[in-house]
Amino acid sequence: MAIATAIPTVPRGPVSAKLNFSVPPPPGVVAFNYTSTPPAGEPQRNIDTVPQEASITDIRGHESEYTLDRDAFQIIRGVPPSKEETSGSDFRDDASITANYYPEVEKLLLEHIPGANRVFIFDHTIRRADPDAPRKAVQFAHIDQTPFSSEKRVRRHMGEEADELLKGRYRIVNVWRTLNKNPVETMPLAFASSSSVEPKDIIPVEHRYPDGYVGETAAIAYNPTQKWHYLSGMTGDERLLLECFDSEGVKEGSGVAGGRVPHSAFEDPRSRPDAEGRESIEVRTLVFGP
């Protein structure tokens, strides 16, 4: 059960750390990334990253000051233990996660996103600290979806209902939590307030899947006006909502500041060399309404 115990060595407070940003490709070149082994002769991705020192603010103690409509991220605290923990499955089996954790995520979003009336969960990713783990923490600034791929996701998953659902408000929200038994000490997640991100910072990247499906993510170019944050020592009873897209965010005068949250894991220079590696699960969802 991932409930916190006190560890005095958890890095706290503001930090200056390197984040990896992307360089836009030459004009006329489509940026791409393969999610698995690329075809012969193709690189995994054709977009370069460059490290940049960034100031990252710790929002611990100020969690309630940040909202989805302004920042595209939100912290939820005091979440009861998941059935995945109490049943002993402990997030090791995909079928068990779908049966136990997905309904909890759906309930959480319906309770904490005002006006939300429907949630569809389309996948999840487990990230482990084991060097041989298939998925590890992603260390470059990115957004999981773009307006193009968000509409495409609705059409892919909602079938005949898609046209009607697309007339209303729709969002893609990731629900992130740590799987560590103790507060996170290493490789925390940084996230930039949507209101501080300019359109020119966003680089569309084709996301190419083995089954032929082509989505679109966004790489992020560095801009000193971006405001980066993290939540120090995240625990298993906390959830981080990361809003990748909000249809209201592309409407003039809606009051929604972009609805897109760049994020990246980063190496905290204050972490102990022998600290426990960070592990996590993120669940990706379509949220409809109002």
Summarised one tens digit per residue, pLDDT across range 56-108 is 999 999 999 999 999 999 999 999 999 999 988 889 999 999 999 999 999 99
Q: Which amino acid is at 48?
A: D
Residue 127 pLDDT > 80: yes
Taking a C-beta distance cutoff of 8 angstroms, is the pair 183, 235 a contact?
A: yes
What's the distance, Cα to Cα, between the start and end of the chain in Å?
A: 35
Strands 228-230 and 49-58: parallel
Residue 133 pLDDT > 90: no
Q: Does a cis peptide bond (omega within 30 degrees of 0) precede residue 290?
A: yes
Residue 3 pLDDT > 60: no
Question: What does the block give as tokens for 140?
Answer: 């470059």
**What percentage of the chain has pLDDT greater than the value 70?**
97
What pLDDT, on a 0 to 100 scale, did the predictor assign at position 87? 87
From the list 150, 188, 185, the residue with the least C-alpha distance to 264 is: 188
Residue 4 pLDDT > 60: no
CA distance 252 to 259: 13
Band of pLDDT at residue 8, cut at 50, 70 and 90: low
What pLDDT, on a 0 to 100 scale, did the predictor assign at position 139? 95
Backbone phi and psi for residue 195, each to the nearest 5 degrees, phi listed first: -70, -15
Q: What is the pTM of this model?
A: 0.93
148: left (phi over 0), alpha (psi -120 to 50) or beta: alpha
